Amino acid sequence: MNRKTVIFDAADLGFIAIYLLLLLVIGLIGWRSKKNNTLQDFYLGGRGTGIWVLLLTLYATQYSGNTLFGFTGKTYRVGFAWTVSIQFMITVIVVYLSFAPKLFAISRRYNFVTPADYLQHRFNHPKLSLIASIVMILAIGNFLLAQLMAMGKAVDGLFGADSTLAYGGGVIFLAGLIVVYESLGGFRAVAWTDAIQGSILFLGFASLLFLVFQQFGSLESATNLIAQQSPKHLDPPDAQGIREWVSYLVIVGVGCALYPQAIQRIYCARNAKTLRISLMWMAFLPLVTTLVSLIAGVMGRAYLPGLSSEQSDSMLTLLCGAIQDQSPIAHALVVILFAAILAAMMSTADSILLSISSMITKDLFSRWLWRDAPEAVLMKVGKRCSWFLVALLSVGAILLKETTLVSLLDRKLDLLVQLSPAFILSLWWSRLRSREVLCGLVAGIALSLGMTIAGHGKLYGIHAGLYGLAINLTIAVSGSWLRQPLTENPAEPQQSNEETIVKVGET
């Protein structure tokens, strides 16, 4: 098949420009809608997010450039074995439901802003809160880098320009747009743009499914073609593959549920019913998102054989190039699909950027450098952090162009999963103690990073982060079990010999 990229005419580019301009307008509306110049208002939107906005912002944040580019590319490389992606995205919702309702109730009572606010409230241990914040910043900083790379790959694959120039220009322009509307409107702008982007994303997935079947025929035909070209891509997983499936279910299910931006969306729900209904609907969305990416990857494997690992992450754009000239309707749907691709990446990136900004401002600067800083000063610090991070990670995205997106997904989850004892177990087990949680966290991180550096990101099909989590849980649980039981309810803070900390909610 001829591998052509998508070329947009002036009308197509005008439609995309209007969409991007609308994001800036929403940023201005968010800026005009702010009630006061406080961290809670800027980073949580006043805690009044309703069902549909919460559902769409969760959806748009959960499904990102990794889904559209990384998952299609992974399917292309490994075949039907990547069906596990549907299962682990459902597992994420199961994990949410295990702790989100209880965390929401506590957060509403104590006015949490960042994820570490809960840890400081529960354990009253400054070093634990500090290390957890740093881990989360590094982990989702990696995720933000992946989104910037996906933006570059989208522009690289969808425009017939010089590859290096198109990739770098896409990263810089779209990252700059995100930081502008996020700085203007804060969480309101991010949530409202996510609602629009989530709607476009859903329409884009539907368009993609229609287009690939219309262009290439049935999934059965593609499977038969793969059987002739590369039968190994149809093989069921062997023993190691099954272990890898289980590993992905655990590390993605737990790790993605602990994204800081997801935890903050738990905080911002209008009420418990809003949160519960939104999560219930989220349980069905992998069937209309991840499944579509899987089908697109299978079609690419059948009709675009011979792509390199780097090219496979841009395979979706090559499919669009093959589909674009099918008919005027197909051309229009490809334009909508490109808007959905931008929506997937930008909605995740803006949420991550806002979350990192809040943690640097409140958990690091306010708690450790200037405790009595006025809120106006903290707001300026947060916005400047956002601009600095975007500049730094844009350079990183350009330099790391050849790195695959799923490899970045694995690295961040190795870190995030280490926080599960502190966030999830601590909500249900009153005997869990701060010193043991801290020791377990440090040991788990050290082991998982050490294995990755030594070239064992997966050992016997199991992610390095899960070996770290096993050590982490052993230390935290056994150490806490051997100590004197606590009399406090786990929803109440522990006493600590550490220095006095400013109460949660005060800055």
- Non-local (6+) Cβ contacts of 305 within 8 A are 229, 230
CB 139, CB 251: distance < 8 Å: no
For residue 458, what are the β-bridge partners?
463
Domain-located, residue 452: no
Q: Are 402 and 310 in contact (CB under 8 A)?
A: yes
Asked whether 441 and 132 are in contact (CB, 8 A), the reply is yes
Q: Does residue 191 fall inside a structural domain? A: yes
Specify the pTM: 0.82
Does residue 210 form part of some domain? yes
What does the pLDDT read at residue 160?
53
Q: Which residues form the domain of 60?
A: 20-406
- Alpha carbon of 78 to those of 13, 44, 234, 243, 298: distances in Å? 34, 40, 9, 15, 10
Q: Taking a C-beta distance cutoff of 8 angstroms, is the pair 92, 98 a contact?
A: no
**For residue 232, what are the CA distances in angstroms to 185, 220, 299?**
50, 16, 15
Which ranges of 34-83 does DSSP label H, i.e. alpha helix? 39-44, 51-62, 65, 71-78
On whether residue 122 sits in a domain, the answer given is yes
Selection from 427, 426, 416, 414 nearest residue 477 by Cα = 426
Q: Give me the pLDDT at residue 43, please.
A: 84
Q: How far apart are CA 362 and CA 367, in angstroms?
A: 6
439 located within any domain:
no
Cβ distance 252 to 417 under 8 Å?
no
CB neighbours of 254 closer than 8 A, spacing ≥ 6?
Answer: 95, 416, 417, 420, 424
Residue carrying structure tokens 């509307």 = 181
Instruction: Answer whether residue 5 is part of any domain.
Output: no
Token pair, residue 323, equals 């589909």
CATH of the domain at 170: 1.20.1730.10
- Distance, CA of 109 to CA of 117 (rounded, Å): 12
Angle at 258 between CA 252 and CA 263, to 5 degrees: 140
Domain count, the chain: 1
pLDDT of residue 324: 75
Task: State residue 356's pLDDT score.
Answer: 92
Please tell me the predicted confidence (pLDDT) of residue 161.
Answer: 54
Residue in the block written with tokens 């529960």: 122
Q: Which pLDDT score, from 0 to 100, does residue 92 have? A: 93
Question: Is 323 among the domain residues?
Answer: yes
**pLDDT tens-digit profile, the chain (507 residues):** 445 555 677 777 788 888 888 878 887 887 777 777 778 778 887 677 888 888 888 887 788 766 777 788 889 988 888 888 899 899 999 999 999 999 999 999 998 999 999 999 999 999 999 999 999 998 888 888 888 887 887 777 555 556 677 788 888 888 888 888 888 888 888 888 888 878 887 888 888 888 888 888 899 999 999 999 889 888 888 888 899 999 999 999 999 999 999 999 999 888 999 999 998 888 888 888 889 889 989 998 988 888 887 778 777 777 777 777 777 887 887 887 777 777 777 878 888 898 999 999 999 998 888 887 888 888 888 889 889 988 998 888 888 776 655 555 567 889 999 999 999 999 999 899 999 999 999 999 999 999 988 988 889 989 999 999 999 999 999 999 987 665 555 555 554 433 333 344 343
| Cα separation, 93 vs 86, whole angstroms | 12
Residue 425 lies in a domain: no
Please name which of 335, 86, 288, 324 lies closest in space to residue 214, comparing C-alpha atoms. Answer: 324
Residue 169 is predicted with a pLDDT of 84
Q: What integer pLDDT is reported at residue 507 of this predicted model?
A: 36
Residues 61/262, Cβ–Cβ less than 8 Å: yes
